[in-house]
């Protein structure tokens, strides 16, 4: 991982490791601090002179030469390196002396703006040299170059390009994203702290930068003195530079941090797609990380992939579109019965605390059409309605399968019994429906029958859930066979057409007539 640290860290480590005599007075402590600052300034100055006058890299931001050489080897494994190379080939053509974008120094009142070009010139060059006819497409390409940090506006933190006279500047190749930078928060803290020391309008902190500085100061409170000293040393070195050169370097450094610490609402282009990182074999790959991807054994990788695919095949999957259709169909079906969406004729009991509507439905002798339609939604809706359950029971008796509903009702009734009566109820249900000489035998599979027999004949008393497997089997039989035939029967159609509205009795929840 390449960080934007300098030899200052090494020098600081040396200073901290050397035992120093305890200063007897505050005056001696101040002298020691001044010595430390002088040493840090000398290190920064040496680094700056080593970089050469032609280097367009802000002082204090150049990594050590050893880490940069390792970075050149490792950055070829970055997931977006191919995209970066394509962008850089376009930028190099833009910066060429022959046929490139016109870069010039603008003279303003009592000042100069060095090495800039306008957005209109950039868009015109893209349309002319890249074979693009649409202005919107050219703007999109320019915006991508700016968002990745290859060019930037000189007086705005938002990395976008406009087709007008706004001034832009190219980023130095040292700060290009292909170098796989991953700057640390300490480097960002030094940069912001240095900005506060320079009394320039163009270097004032934006609101979000001031908030970030406050957070970093709180985060690094124990080492803030060292950060401040490092920023102060860099500021002193910057003041020795030429004025125009300092303007360019300050803007390039600001653009670098606008890419890696973007302002709120802007896209962070340094984030790596987790899918790309996973395909390359990297378990964790931070934004712009320079670490090489771990290449595992191909056989092990394929074996692991086969296992994952088998697990996916075993899982139940359904398309989101199908799920959405099911939800929409369900809500459209029950829309009429939701009294918040469809106001009823009588006062809504959920709003007015008037239960007259519920009492009317419970005591009325006529079955409303709205109520009969709900029986056709599902078997559960039919059995919840006492009238619907009674009619379904009559239908099953006609088809000589009424014992199925009676068995299911008896199991549900047993669950509501007190614990002292559960054993007696379980034996009664078994003898009536499941025993070899049962009076009303039900058609259940051998596995359910064996589980019921073991539950009743075991030494421990049966619990209230001992017949759940058999009851579920019977319920499935009624749902898949008897219920569908009931909906096609004349009995249901008579209620649905309104020709039969009178009922003789109202059963309770378990089918017993009152």
- Please give the pLDDT value at position 434: 92
- Please give the pLDDT value at position 293: 42
Q: Is residue 181 predicted with pLDDT exceeding 90? A: no
Average predicted confidence (pLDDT) for the chain: 79
401-447 per-position pLDDT tens digit: 999 999 999 999 999 999 999 999 999 999 999 998 888 999 899 99
Buried b (16+ CB within 10 A) or exposed e, 395-406: bbeeeebbbbbb
Domain around 97? 79-179
- Please give the pLDDT value at position 140: 94
Share of the chain above pLDDT 70, in %: 76
Q: Is residue 461 predicted with pLDDT exceeding 60? A: yes
Q: Are residues 144 and 190 in the same domain?
A: no
Q: Are residues 57 and 190 in the same domain?
A: yes
Q: Is residue 244 predicted with pLDDT exceeding 70? A: yes
Q: Is residue 265 part of a domain?
A: no
- Please give the pLDDT value at position 408: 95
- Please give the pLDDT value at position 292: 39
- Please give the pLDDT value at position 364: 63
- Please give the pLDDT value at position 54: 38
- Please give the pLDDT value at position 485: 94
Buried b (16+ CB within 10 A) or exposed e, 210-219: eebbeebeee
Residue 6's alpha-carbon distances to 54, 150, 195, in angstroms, are 19, 24, 18
- Please give the pLDDT value at position 82: 85
Q: Is residue 373 predicted with pLDDT exceeding 60? A: yes
Q: Is residue 251 part of a domain?
A: no
38-67 per-position pLDDT tens digit: 544 454 444 444 443 334 454 444 444 334
- Contact partners, residue 291, CB within 8 Å, separation at least 6: 1, 74, 77, 282, 285
Q: What is the mean pLDDT of residues 271-275?
A: 72
Q: Is residue 466 part of a domain?
A: yes
- Please give the pLDDT value at position 477: 93
Cα 346 to Cα 334: distance, rounded to the nearest angstrom: 19
Q: Is residue 502 predicted with pLDDT exceeding 80? A: no
Most confident region among 123-127, 153-157, 495-499 by mean pLDDT: 123-127
- Please give the pLDDT value at position 341: 86
Cα 15 to Cα 101: distance, rounded to the nearest angstrom: 49
Q: Are residues 186 and 48 in the same domain?
A: yes
126-140, 243-257, 305-319: least confident range: 305-319
340-351 per-position pLDDT tens digit: 888 888 888 888
Domain boundary among the residues 159, 179, 199 is at 179
DSSP state of 214: H
- Please give the pLDDT value at position 316: 77
57-66, 388-397, 460-469: least confident range: 57-66
Q: What is the mean pLDDT of residues 68-81?
A: 55
Q: What is the mean pLDDT of residues 290-303?
A: 65
Q: Is residue 331 part of a domain?
A: no
Buried b (16+ CB within 10 A) or exposed e, 45-71: eebbeebeeeebbbbbbbbbeeeeeeb
Q: Are residues 175 and 104 in the same domain?
A: yes
Q: What is the mean pLDDT of residues 298-304?
A: 88
Q: Are residues 168 and 189 in the same domain?
A: no
Q: What is the CATH number of the domain that holds 47?
A: 1.10.1240
Q: Is residue 6 predicted with pLDDT exceeding 60? A: no
Q: Are residues 285 and 380 in the same domain?
A: no
- Contact partners, residue 357, CB within 8 Å, separation at least 6: 344, 346, 347, 348, 349
Q: Are residues 375 and 477 in the same domain?
A: yes
Q: What is the CATH number of the domain that holds 133?
A: 1.10.10.10
Residue where the block lists tokens 């669950």:
415
- Residue with the bigger pLDDT between 235 and 47: it is 235
Domain boundary among the residues 128, 159, 179 is at 179
- Please give the pLDDT value at position 277: 65
Q: Are residues 96 and 152 in the same domain?
A: yes
Q: What is the CATH number of the domain that holds 403?
A: 1.10.167.10
- Please give the pLDDT value at position 14: 34
Q: What is the mean pLDDT of residues 7-21?
A: 38
Q: Are residues 185 and 160 in the same domain?
A: no
Q: Is residue 88 part of a domain?
A: yes
Q: Are residues 380 and 480 in the same domain?
A: yes
Confidence of residue 238 (pLDDT cuts 50, 70, 90): confident
Q: Is residue 501 predicted with pLDDT exceeding 90? A: no
pTM of the entire structure? 0.45
- Please give the pLDDT value at position 427: 93
Q: Are residues 369 and 487 in the same domain?
A: yes
Q: Number of structural domains, the chain?
A: 4
Q: What is the mean pLDDT of residues 109-129?
A: 90
Q: Is residue 449 predicted with pLDDT exceeding 60? A: yes
Q: Are residues 24 and 137 in the same domain?
A: no
């Amino acid at each position: 991982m390449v960080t934007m640290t300098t030899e200052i860290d090494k020098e600081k480590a040396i200073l901290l490791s050397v035992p120093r005599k305890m200063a007897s007075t505050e005056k001696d402590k101040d002298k020691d601090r001044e010595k430390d600052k002088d040493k840090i300034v000398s290190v920064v100055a040496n680094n700056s002179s080593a970089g050469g006058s032609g280097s367009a890299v802000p002082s204090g931001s150049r990594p050590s030469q050893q880490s940069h050489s390792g970075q050149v080897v490792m950055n070829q494994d970055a997931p977006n390196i191919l995209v970066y190379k394509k962008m850089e080939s376009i930028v190099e053509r833009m910066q060429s002396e022959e046929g490139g974008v016109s870069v010039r120094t603008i003279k303003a009142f009592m000042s100069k703006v060095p090495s800039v070009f306008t957005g209109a010139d950039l868009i015109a060059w893209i349309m002319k040299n890249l074979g693009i006819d649409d202005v919107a497409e050219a703007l999109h390409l320019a915006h991508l170059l700016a968002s990745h940090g290859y060019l930037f506006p000189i007086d705005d933190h938002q990395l976008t390009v406009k087709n007008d006279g706004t001034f832009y500047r190219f980023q130095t190749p040292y700060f290009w994203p292909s170098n796989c930078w991953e700057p640390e928060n300490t480097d960002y803290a030094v940069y912001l702290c240095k900005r506060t020391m320079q009394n320039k309008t163009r270097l004032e902190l934006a609101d979000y930068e001031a908030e970030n500085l406050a957070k970093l100061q709180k985060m690094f409170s124990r080492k803030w003195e060292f950060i401040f000293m490092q920023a102060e040393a860099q500021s002193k070195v910057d003041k020795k530079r030429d004025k125009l050169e300092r303007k360019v370097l300050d803007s390039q450094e600001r653009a670098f941090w606008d890419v890696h610490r973007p302002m709120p609402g802007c896209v962070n282009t340094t984030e790596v797609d987790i899918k790309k990182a996973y395909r390359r074999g990297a378990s964790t790959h931070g934004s712009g990380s320079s670490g090489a991807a771990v290449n595992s054994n191909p056989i092990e990788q394929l074996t692991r992939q086969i296992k994952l695919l088998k697990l996916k095949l075993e899982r139940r999957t359904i398309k989101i579109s199908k799920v959405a259709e099911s939800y929409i169909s369900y809500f459209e079906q029950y829309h009429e019965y939701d009294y918040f969406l469809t106001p009823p004729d009588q006062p809504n009991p959920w709003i007015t605390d008037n239960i007259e509507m519920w009492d009317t439905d419970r005591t009325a002798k006529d079955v409303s059409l709205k109520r009969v339609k709900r029986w056709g939604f599902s078997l559960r809706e039919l059995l919840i309605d006492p009238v619907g359950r009674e009619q379904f029971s009559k239908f099953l008796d006609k088809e000589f399968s009424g014992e199925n509903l009676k068995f299911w009702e008896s199991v549900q009734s047993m669950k509501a019994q007190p614990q002292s009566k559960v054993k007696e109820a379980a034996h009664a249900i078994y003898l009536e429906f499941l025993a070899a000489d049962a009076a009303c035998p039900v058609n259940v599979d051998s596995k359910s029958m064996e589980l019921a027999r073991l539950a009743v004949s075991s030494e421990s008393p049966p619990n209230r859930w001992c017949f759940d497997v058999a009851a579920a089997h019977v319920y499935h039989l009624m749902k898949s066979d008897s219920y569908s035939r009931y909906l096609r029967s004349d009995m249901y159609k008579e209620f649905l057409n309104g020709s039969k509205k009178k009922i003789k009795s109202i059963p309770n929840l378990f089918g017993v007539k009152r």
